[in-house]
Amino acid sequence: MQRKEIGGMACLVLTAMIWGFAFVSQVQGMASMSPLFFGATRFTLGALSLIPLLWFRRRGIAEQERRRRESNECPTVTLGNGITVAMPKCLGNPVVVSVICGIVLFTASTVQQYGILYSGSAGRSGFITALYIVLVPLAGMFLGKKANKRLFLCVLIAVVGLYFLCFTGSEGAMSFGRGDFLVFLCAFAFTGHILCVDHYVQKVDGIALSCVQFAVMMVLSTVCAFTFETVDFAALGECTFYILYIGILSSAGGYTLQILAQKDGDPTVVSLLLSLESFFAVVCGAIILHERMSGREYLGCALMLTAVLLSQLPEKTADAAEPQKK
């Protein structure tokens, strides 16, 4: 394994740790602030904190843009049937790409924010969000990526784990609340973001992509907050630490590390390492929020983690399985 790959994996594990602890910040922060206003604040901090890095990388970004324009390449996407489809030329523009990633990530983060608000559990939300580990390779099948044969077994195990985690009433009574459902939906949105970044990250500077996507999220969150919510600026003083953590470390730091690490990583492996956020979310929820889950819920977490790990085991190839002939 090359040093660059090891560095990328370390960045992804660090990102997972940062995001795992961010679940607690979201639970605590939204005790005082509305979800969209909380999002507007964190994304504003995320965008502003990346401006100095953007300034230092301005020459490299300008050179990369000059080469892109000289190549005059038309962006394409390969579907699962092997057919390569040409996309509109505007989808090769770094600004357009960053805006698309920003819209996708805004959708994922906002849905997750409301889901955590209604569920109130950092650990539970972390594990449901981690379902993107199974969704990424499934979605990749439609983009020409071969799926591991055991993937469908992993989906089944993950669904059973989700049942034990969320259907916790007597005799398996329904306790899959709207918060759980929203967090479940956000897993699909995060899947879209991982695949979107994977498709464009080789063509766009990582810092520029991260900064512009946060600027887009900042605008969308601010407009939606003032349109659909009652904004209370006094609440900022009650959760300053959580806002600073999730705005600078989780948003600017975490998502930028993800983008930079994905330059040299397979999206399926990336999703595996990022799914460790669920483990850190449970640990942090237990230590800081004193959250306790039942044995049934821990069984659900264990099954989902099993599905996560099993889906990433290397598959034996025909060459490896056949003994060498002398």
The SS3 assignment for 87 reads: coil
Contact 201, 264 (CB under 8 A): no
Which pLDDT belongs to residue 59? 84
120-169 confidence digits (pLDDT tens): 777 778 778 878 877 887 787 776 666 666 767 777 787 777 677 666 55
248-282 confidence digits (pLDDT tens): 888 888 888 887 777 766 776 777 777 777 778 77
Q: In terms of residues, how long is the chain?
A: 326
Q: How many CB atoms lie within 10 A of CB 111?
A: 21
- What's the chain's average pLDDT? 78
**DSSP-assigned states of every residue in 133-174:** HHHHHHHHHTTTPPPPTTHHHHHHHHHHHHHHHH--SGGG--
Beta strands in 23-102 (DSSP E): 76-78, 84-86
Which pLDDT belongs to residue 172? 46
The dihedral built from the CA positions of residue 60, 196, 47 and 92, taken in this order, carries a sign that is positive
Which pLDDT belongs to residue 167? 62
Say if residue 147 is exposed, middle or buried (CB neighbours under 10 Å; 0-12, 13-18, 19+).
Answer: middle
Nearest CA to 129 out of 173, 194, 175 is that of: 194
**DSSP-assigned states of every residue in 231-295:** --GGGGGGGHHHHHIIIIIIIIIIHHHHHHHGGGS-HHHHHHHHTTHHHHHHHHHHHHS-----H
At residue 103, does pLDDT exceed 90?
Answer: yes
207-248 confidence digits (pLDDT tens): 888 889 999 999 999 999 999 988 888 888 888 888 899 888
DSSP 115: H
DSSP 102: H
Q: Which residue has 């605008």 as its token pair?
A: 219
Q: How many CB atoms lie within 10 A of CB 42?
A: 31
Nearest CA to 124 out of 184, 191, 190, 36 is that of: 184
Q: Give the separation between CA 51 and CA 112, rounded to whole angstroms.
A: 26
Q: What is the pTM of this model?
A: 0.75
Structure-token pair, residue 276? 């460790």
Structure-token pair, residue 303? 């099954």
DSSP 91: G
40-76 confidence digits (pLDDT tens): 998 999 889 888 888 888 888 888 778 777 777 766 6
**Amino acid identity for residue 296 in this structure:** R
277-308 confidence digits (pLDDT tens): 777 877 788 788 787 777 877 887 788 778 76
Longest dimension (CA), the chain: 77
